[in-house]
Amino acid sequence: MMKLTAGEQAMLDGKDGKAKQKAMDLLLRYGEALGAERFVDTNNVCGTVGASTPFLRDYGSRHGGLDAVFSEFNLDSAEVVEIPKVSVYSSHLQQGIDPEHAERQGIPVEVVKLHRRGEAYAAGLGINLLNTCAPYTVGNVPTRGEHCAWMESSAVIYINSVLGARTNAEGRESAGCAMLTGKIPYWGYHIEENRIGTHHVEVDIDVESTADWGLLGYYIGEVVQDRVPVLTGITRVPNLPRLKHFGAAAASSGGVEMYHMVGITPEAPTLETAFGRNKPVMTFKYGRAERKQAYERANITAKNPNVDFIMLGCPHYTIEQIWEVCRLLEGKRVHPNTELWIFTPRQTKHLADQNGYTKIITDAGAHLMSDTCSALGRVIPKGTKVAAADSAKQSHYLPAIMGIECWFGTTEDCVNAAVSGRWTGELE
Ligand code: F3S
């Protein structure tokens, strides 16, 4: 049985209203199923509310609105309860559409209206509309040791490993309940001893581009699945985009939520600290052969070199990555048979507008979008059969979700393909 504080018990007894009572009840069932002994306070929740998919929109219209959607899909309650404002700092993750590019994404006007209503609903609850899978790039940067309740695997692995914050990969329900109560079960990566390494990866080659970092993550995730790899041998400290691509790939091919890079990430000043009292269950090398293997896996669906669609921005691009694309794209034109869509958080899009990057992109015939992405929002140009991406995560999910081929390569390979209409990327 989980031990509750007086405040938690009061919420469970309904003293703070019905919605919080239901939220505590769900969290209690969840925590007990996980074997947690208690809750931990959180003041940083990233989750999803509202109705961003056709199914949820339909549910909302049939059952009386967005409180009904929150009740059923965040609180697991068939009874519709009035949802109060969130009690802790909460941010919204990526959404199903980009309302500013709805027409290009094939989204009907009616859906955009419902979407805007959903956004107003979330904002009315006090949830920050960051609308991105990379909240840590636009101001939600948890501190080391901070207990969080975040959804989105690529964000979870980033804040656990790079920032030293503490979260498990939450679901829509637990994150919604945490928004209302400020509580989350104390288990998994909230607990110090679960954060130490299990597998030792000896990196034997230089890892340079974001694509290279994606390949490294893709390979490691497949080997370690949901355990905690510890990497040694990194010769050059990776920047934010590289770590973002590494983590997203490791969380896609496996279920990695935490890793260490010795001398780089905060909980691994030494190999000994990274493993604590654990002995590695496995040690393996990542060299040229393993990199080639990961590249082949990431390109497993790709056959046709005539590319219809290039997707950049998985996880959502940083301003640095947009700048990099602009350097590759400026003065060129996207091929008439090809579309280039770049995804970024909405705030970063504003910065790109201000910096003149959006103009460079649109002058080239490409599009800078926000809030959603192709795999998650299922938004690709009509008739797409062959896509390309510089993200191992996107090239993993696009074929599975959209039934299309997808090439994987460097950002430069992708921009070249957008301009020529043909994939010529190769592993160097
Ligand atoms: Fe983000 Fe979509 Fe990739 S939500 S991590 S861009 S699959």
Name the closest-CA residue to atom 2, ligand 1: 373
Name the closest-CA residue to atom 4, ligand 1: 133
For ligand 1, whether the C-beta of 274 sits within 6 Å is no
For ligand 1, whether the C-beta of 346 sits within 6 Å is no
For ligand 1, whether the C-beta of 396 sits within 6 Å is no
Peptide bond into 266 cis (omega under 30): no
Distances (CA, A) of 326 to 9, 29, 71: 55, 50, 44
Residue-level pLDDT at 10:
98
How far apart are alpha carbons 45 and 67 in whole angstroms? Answer: 19
307: closest CA among 425, 422, 424? 422
| 226 torsion bin: left (phi>0), alpha (psi -120 to 50), beta (else) | alpha
Contact in structure between 294 and 215 (CB atoms under 8 Å): yes
For ligand 1, whether the C-beta of 373 sits within 6 Å is yes
For ligand 1, whether the C-beta of 242 sits within 6 Å is no
90 CA → ligand 1 middle, Å:
19
88-131 pLDDT per residue, tens: 999 999 999 999 999 999 999 999 998 999 999 999 999 999 99
- Measured from the Cα of 155, ligand 1's closest atom is 5
| Average predicted confidence (pLDDT) for the chain | 97
For ligand 1, whether the C-beta of 133 sits within 6 Å is yes
172 CA → ligand 1 middle, Å:
16
274 CA → ligand 1 middle, Å:
29
190-200 pLDDT per residue, tens: 999 999 999 99
Q: What is the DSSP letter of 283?
A: E
Residue-level pLDDT at 51:
81
How far apart are alpha carbons 308 and 381 in whole angstroms? Answer: 8
7 CA → ligand 1 middle, Å:
37
Q: pLDDT-derived band of residue 53, with 50, 70 and 90 as boundaries?
A: confident
112 CA → ligand 1 middle, Å:
20
Residue 332 pLDDT greater than 90, yes or no: yes
Q: Is 181 exposed, middle or buried (0-12, 13-18, 19+ CB in 10 A)?
A: buried
Q: pLDDT-derived band of residue 54, with 50, 70 and 90 as boundaries?
A: confident
Contact in structure between 129 and 347 (CB atoms under 8 Å): no
How far apart are alpha carbons 46 and 129 in whole angstroms? Answer: 10
For ligand 1, whether the C-beta of 315 sits within 6 Å is yes
36-52 pLDDT per residue, tens: 999 999 999 999 998 87
Largest Cα span, the chain = 65
How far apart are alpha carbons 237 and 33 in whole angstroms? Answer: 40
Contact in structure between 189 and 219 (CB atoms under 8 Å): no
For ligand 1, whether the C-beta of 394 sits within 6 Å is yes
373 CA → ligand 1 middle, Å:
6
Name the closest-CA residue to atom 5, ligand 1: 315
Residue-level pLDDT at 57:
82
Distances (CA, A) of 370 to 89, 132, 390: 22, 8, 17
Residue-level pLDDT at 59:
87
Amino acid at the residue 392: A
206-254 pLDDT per residue, tens: 999 999 999 999 999 999 999 999 999 999 999 999 999 999 999 999 9
For ligand 1, whether the C-beta of 395 sits within 6 Å is no
Amino acid at the residue 24: M
394 CA → ligand 1 middle, Å:
7
313 CA → ligand 1 middle, Å:
8
28 CA → ligand 1 middle, Å:
30
Residue that has been written with the tokens 């920032």 in this structure? 163
SS3 136: helix
Residue-level pLDDT at 175:
98
Contact in structure between 30 and 174 (CB atoms under 8 Å): yes
Kindly state the tokens that stand for 313.
């921005």
Percent of the chain with pLDDT over 90: 95
Contact in structure between 92 and 54 (CB atoms under 8 Å): no
Testing ligand 1's pocket by substitution, the residue of 95, 152, 314, 406 carrying the most ligand atoms inside 8 A of its CB is 314
Testing ligand 1's pocket by substitution, the residue of 394, 396, 401, 406 carrying the most ligand atoms inside 8 A of its CB is 394
Residue 399 pLDDT greater than 90, yes or no: yes
Provide the 10 A C-beta neighbour count for residue 76: 16
Residue 375 pLDDT greater than 90, yes or no: yes
316 CA → ligand 1 middle, Å:
6
- Measured from the Cα of 377, ligand 1's closest atom is 2
Residue-level pLDDT at 142:
98
For ligand 1, whether the C-beta of 314 sits within 6 Å is yes
Name the closest-CA residue to atom 1, ligand 1: 315
The mean per-residue pLDDT over the stretch 372-400 comes to: 96
Residue 62 pLDDT greater than 90, yes or no: no
Contact in structure between 129 and 372 (CB atoms under 8 Å): no
Distances (CA, A) of 10 to 13, 17, 159, 258: 5, 10, 32, 34
Residue-level pLDDT at 58:
83
Kindly state the tokens that stand for 284.
């393996």
Distances (CA, A) of 359 to 126, 350, 363, 385: 33, 12, 6, 28
Percent of the chain with pLDDT over 70: 100
Contact in structure between 347 and 355 (CB atoms under 8 Å): no
143 CA → ligand 1 middle, Å:
23
317 CA → ligand 1 middle, Å:
10
